[in-house]
Amino acid sequence: MSRLVQISILPHKQEDQNYILDLAFEKARLRRSDIKDWRIRKRSIDARRAPVKLNLQIEFWLKDEARVEIPPFVPKEVSEAREIAIIGAGPAGLYAALRAIEAGLKPIVFERGKDVRARRRDLALINKEQIVNPESNYCFGEGGAGTYSDGKLYTRSKKRGNVLKALEWFVHFGADPDILVDAHPHIGTNKLPKIITTMREAIIEAGGEVHFNSKLTDIQVKAKRVVGITINDSEHLKFDEIILATGHSARDIFYLLHKKDIKIEAKPFAIGVRVEHQQELIDSIQYHGDSDNPYLPPASYALVEQIDGMGVYSFCMCPGGIIAPCATEQHEVVTNGWSPSKRNNPYANSGIVVSVAPEDLPNYTPNDPFVCLDFQKQVEQACWEAAGKTQHVPAQRMIDFVEKRVSSSFPKTSYQPGITAVDLNQVLPPLLVDRLRKAFVRFGRKMKGYYTNEAVLHAPESRTSSPISIPRNPNTLEHVEVQGLYPCGEGAGYAGGIISAAIDGINCVDAIVTKAI
Ligand SMILES: Cc1cc2nc3c(=O)[nH]c(=O)nc-3n(C[C@H](O)[C@H](O)[C@H](O)COP(=O)(O)OP(=O)(O)OC[C@H]3O[C@@H](n4cnc5c(N)ncnc54)[C@H](O)[C@@H]3O)c2cc1C
């Protein structure tokens, strides 16, 4: 058994190992000669008051204690093993495939998009030519929405063991081991593609298969059991188990399930705008004026307010980040955010979104599974029209928005396709704008300086989570009506980010294995 001790230091002392150890030894009442080994187990920033401090948890092993390292990923050779189909190569699908390999099952992954490298060209087309490839974009392709995401690996999942396993696999496949230590781990968009590629290579090396440009277009069900799938409308394949991990943007999958009478349900989600400030301003607010401290990372923030009966909150804040065009169709616009591992862009962006339930919506009728998705689509299309029917997004300075004035100029934006000045109050539904206006004023009271006309709103932030869930049995994880169908990850409503999607992929394979026993 190792022992743990907590210490708190000033940020500039973080590279002084002797200082850290002396402090930790004193606190643990140990001498250096008692110790065989040590490491920093957790690291977090405490910016609640000045001066900002680093909290460290130090783990020691005494001379007579064994430090046991368990290999995080132990593959089996599965080329001749029982096959399972995994639809979608996002975090949920990839982790399901890796788990299948550990469990002795052969994963066959079908992904509608391209491999990470080929996908990059399609992202350039969106950014530079305003062209959206509906099969290959920021949401579709190898690694799913996770590949060109920000790679923040925090999750609200409370099962520490599962979270640690998901993080350890990231490290095993090439991520910086610091993600196991940091309270708010972050990989960065520049590092993710290589890690995703290494995961795919491991799947293939163990005998699994990964097929790109392979879109699921039909599912065959007989006597309430899955019996097969169709790929690209042409290839019919027999499978008894399908893990359906197609993400929140695969609207065609929701329409397919509904058409086939496979139950889906409307689900609460969140929608709003993406706000961009200068990172220096956010650093100054969060670090009590200490904005150019070289020992502190670019600061983030988390804000939440209850306004007129609905939650309004910050979502996926990206310090040092870039606003990305995340549409999956030509006739819509969608924003999200990413940042490189160094978070060294001069901008700080975050979604500011309103939590919306099916019953809140004007077109609500009970049992309509598409009420939230239709609302999401309307907002995305209205923004596309308002900004000129390209990948430009409608934009407004923050105070101009609150005071309902079209902005006459803008500071430089990180959103590459471009922005168009509009009054967002005329473009977004009143349900959203009335609450967003109040929220920005209140956020400004919580974070002095946040409410500023130097901040620019980009609309819409609309793909925060799935507007539909695919109901499953909580014990078997199979669809409530169709055996052998495992709705998985964010698109099915069981995850809200990279780590929770990855964990859900693992859980679905474990459910298949348990069923077979
Ligand atoms: C720009 C951006 C930044 C983000 N930043 C973060 C972050 O910092 N931290 C975080 O936790 N989350 C972040 N997210 C969200 C995160 O990426 C998702 O929560 C996560 O990827 C969901 O995983 P998933 O596997 O369930 O679905 P997805 O990642 O959406 O993967 C689904 C896959 O299924 C494929 N697919 C869809 N339909 C079909 C079909 N019919 N046949 C075959 N394949 C199909 C898609 O092409 C896709 O590859 C970000 C997302 C974006 C877009």
Find the mean pLDDT for residues 198-223: 98
What CA–CA distance (Å, rounded) separates 114 from 58? 43
Q: Is 46 helix (H, G, I), strand (E, B) or coil?
A: strand
On the 0-12 / 13-18 / 19+ scale of CB atoms within 10 A, 311 is middle
Measure Cα distances from 204 to 104, 225, 320 in Å: 14, 28, 35
pLDDT tens digits for range 425-467:
999 999 999 999 999 999 999 999 999 999 999 999 999 999 9
What is the predicted pLDDT for the residue at 66? Answer: 85
Q: Are 348 and 276 in contact (CB under 8 A)?
A: yes
What CA–CA distance (Å, rounded) separates 420 from 219? 42
What is the predicted pLDDT for the residue at 161? Answer: 65
CA of 251 to the centre of ligand 1 (A): 13
The tokens 């639809």 sit on which residue? 87
Q: What 8-state DSSP symbol labels residue 178?
A: G
CA of 145 to the centre of ligand 1 (A): 3
What CA–CA distance (Å, rounded) separates 346 from 126? 22
CA of 91 to the centre of ligand 1 (A): 7
CA of 444 to the centre of ligand 1 (A): 32
What is the predicted pLDDT for the residue at 160? Answer: 65
**What number does the ligand 1 atom closest to the CA of 113 have?**
47
Consecutive H or E run containing 499: helix 498-516
Is residue 290 very low, low, confident or very high in pLDDT (cuts 50, 70, 90)? confident
Q: In the predicted model, is pLDDT for residue 482 greater than 70?
A: yes
Share of the chain above pLDDT 90, in %: 93
Q: How many residues does the chain have?
A: 517
CA of 151 to the centre of ligand 1 (A): 11
* One-character DSSP codes across 264-286: -EE--EEEEEEEEEEHHHHHHHH
Is residue 32 very low, low, confident or very high in pLDDT (cuts 50, 70, 90)? confident
Q: In the predicted model, is pLDDT for residue 158 greater than 80?
A: no
Please, what sign has the CA dihedral across residues 466, 470, 473, 478? negative
pTM of the model: 0.96
pLDDT tens digits for range 101-127:
999 999 999 999 999 999 999 999 999
**Is the CB of 45 inside a 6 Å radius of any atom of ligand 1?**
no
**Is the CB of 402 inside a 6 Å radius of any atom of ligand 1?**
no
Consecutive H or E run containing 157: none
Alpha helix stretches (DSSP H) within 90-132 = 91-103, 116-124
For residue 282, the tally of other CB atoms under 10 A from its CB is 26
Is residue 306 very low, low, confident or very high in pLDDT (cuts 50, 70, 90)? very high
The Cβ-side half-sphere exposure at 507, using a 13 Å CA radius, reads 25
Minimum CA distance residue for ligand 1 atom 1: 149
**Is the CB of 140 inside a 6 Å radius of any atom of ligand 1?**
yes
